[in-house]
Every structure is written in C-alpha cells, then in structure tokens.
Chain A
Amino acid sequence: MTMIETRGLTKEYGDVTAVTEVDLTVDRGDIHGFVGHNGAGKTTTMQMLTGLVTPTRGEAYIGGEPAGTRAATKKIGYAPQDPAFYESMTGRDYLTYMGELSAVDGSTRERADELLTRLNLTDAADQAVEGYSGGMLRRLAVGQAMLGDPELLILDEPTAALDPEGRAMIIDALESLTDEGTTIFVSSHVLTELEQFIDTVTFLKEGQVVTSGPLTEVLSDTGIERFVVDASDNDRAARLLATHESVDEVDRNDDGAVVVRTDDPEGFAVALPQALSDATLGLYSVDREGGLEERFLDILDDGGED
C-alpha cells in the first residue's frame, strides 16, 4: 500500500524552478532515502508533502489524502532541516505544547516525557531550550515529529550536527518505528549511514528525479560497482580483466592497483579468482566499492543517470 505518491510535482519561484515533475512512490512501512546535493530540491519537495509549500503544478498524496489537507497532515510528523524552537521554553514544555497541536492520544505530558526518555533528554527536560547543544536540539526536533505517532515521518537531515552516539540513538529510534509500521522519508548527507537502514532511495538532481527504487536495485544498476584488485602482476591483471565479458572499464589507481568498473558485480566477484588463477596470477586483495556514496557521486557528479 502506498504512503507517498506524487505525480508531476513542480514548484516554481518566479523564474526559478526548484522542483520539476517529481514522480515518487513510497510504500507504507518503508524507510525511503531522499538523496541529492544542497539545492537539489529535497527540502522543497518535503515541504510540499507536508503542505507548508503549495506546488505550482502536480499532485501529492499522503496515505491517499491530498497533501496539505488536515487529513494528510494528521498522518505526518515533520522535522525540518534547520528547526527553530521557542527558546525560553523548557524541553518538556516545548514537547507538551507541540503535542497539544499534534493530536496526541491521551496525556501530552506523558507522551512528551516518554519521548524525552527515548531520546536521552530527560536530564535536560526542565532546562530552557536556548541552553541545548546542537545535537540536543536535533533530537528534540525529531522528538516533536514523533509526538502524534504519525504514520509517516518526514525528516530533513535528522542526523546532521549529531555525534556518533546521537546518530545511533536517532537511527535506533527510527528503526524501532519501522518495526511498528511507520513509514520514514528521510534525507541525509551521511550516505554511508543512510544506506544502513533505508529500504528504497530516490536521487534528486537539480529538482528532477534521476533514479528511484529499492536500494539493492539502485546500487546494482549499470556501472556503479567498482572493484579494486591487487594481484601479483597488476599490468597483466589489468590487460586480462579488460577482456572479461562483465567488465566495462579498467583503470589503475595511485597505488598501482587495478580498478574495475562492472555492470555485473555479482558475476565478476565470482569469476575473478578463477580468471586470475587460470592466468597464474596471484590475488593479494580485492575491495568492492559501490555503496550509496559512490552511486551518489556517479549519478549526481558525473552527469546524470548512466
């Protein structure tokens, strides 16, 4: 069942088009990564989903409800990229107030306390927010998004400015939410971290979707995998591998090792030892590269979908 669906979603600010014809589908219960450079249109898209920004054209639906309607907003918890707070309020009062606006079932105070505990903010609960560190504020922002037990969490860079412990805490909280069936739509610049917990991913470049789909499919798309091979004779190994059927391109890195780009990483990984052995070459090491970070660089820096 679909949680987010957009069709031709476009936002123009005068002559500037921030988001162009974005078509997205995110299934219920998925953790969906939203990846792109700064200014790619991620935040604008998220704001259109939450109803904070009205699309110039196109449609967006949240759990079947048109985005921006109260029925849709009720399903959403949103933490913006640079959240602003009522600085003179304490953390507990802030969450209680936001809870009153989030249609929390039962006591907002209890729910606020529960989230303060979950996000390790209990000690600072009665401290004014203006005294919070950047990491504490980020956790508080995620906490306010979780208040109304939303079906969909939209998180814009939720782990930015967090130390490793804070990141782990947020990721744990998010993973436990997906166990409860919550859909999470998250953008982050820490891609190595993102790929650890997302199910599906969309790459956005200059306001347009470049590629979108399950993480495993996107990562195994043509040309994204690199193998760095160190053999007993790297010159011969490079010539040999250049002729291999699954290899697209062979190069050498600064250390002299052979860098192979392949459109069939699984096939290459299986065939490599045998191919080198048949040529009486020793295989010292092989490193497989091609995570989200590399995919991000391939797609967004090298000029679009391959």
Chain B
Amino acid sequence: MEIAVLGKGCSRCTSTIERIEREAKALGVDVQITKITDEIEIVKNGVMTTPAVMIDGKVLHSGSIPSIDAVQSWLKK
C-alpha cells in the first residue's frame, strides 16, 4: 500500500508518519510511505493544512495528526 504524507517537516508530520508505520506494523500491512514536503506540491494536491494523508491519489485527511481509528480504517481497506 502506498501512502503519501504531506507536510513541511513539522513535528506533527513526523508523528503522523510514525503513527501510520506503527499501526501498519501492528496490523501486518506492508506500507510504503512517501513524504511530500514541497509546499507547492502539497497545495497542487488540493491540501491547505498539514499534515495531510493521501492514499491512491485521494486526500483522506488534512490539518491534524489523524486518529488511530482513522489510520486503522485506511489500512484495513
């Protein structure tokens, strides 16, 4: 599963990545996380507030660290 985390290196972006990695490991899902840190690239994806999470080109979350429930629901799909 390919997951993109969008954000300009803020601490909340790092926490988001860590949370996804941790949940993926717990659920045994193989994930590849790409970081999109360039602000122009971020906004071209329609994202205004970071951290944001994008899976298969669709923005699923933006503006905060996603909840554990939300992360799990994405990974189970």
Q: Do A and B come from one complex?
A: no
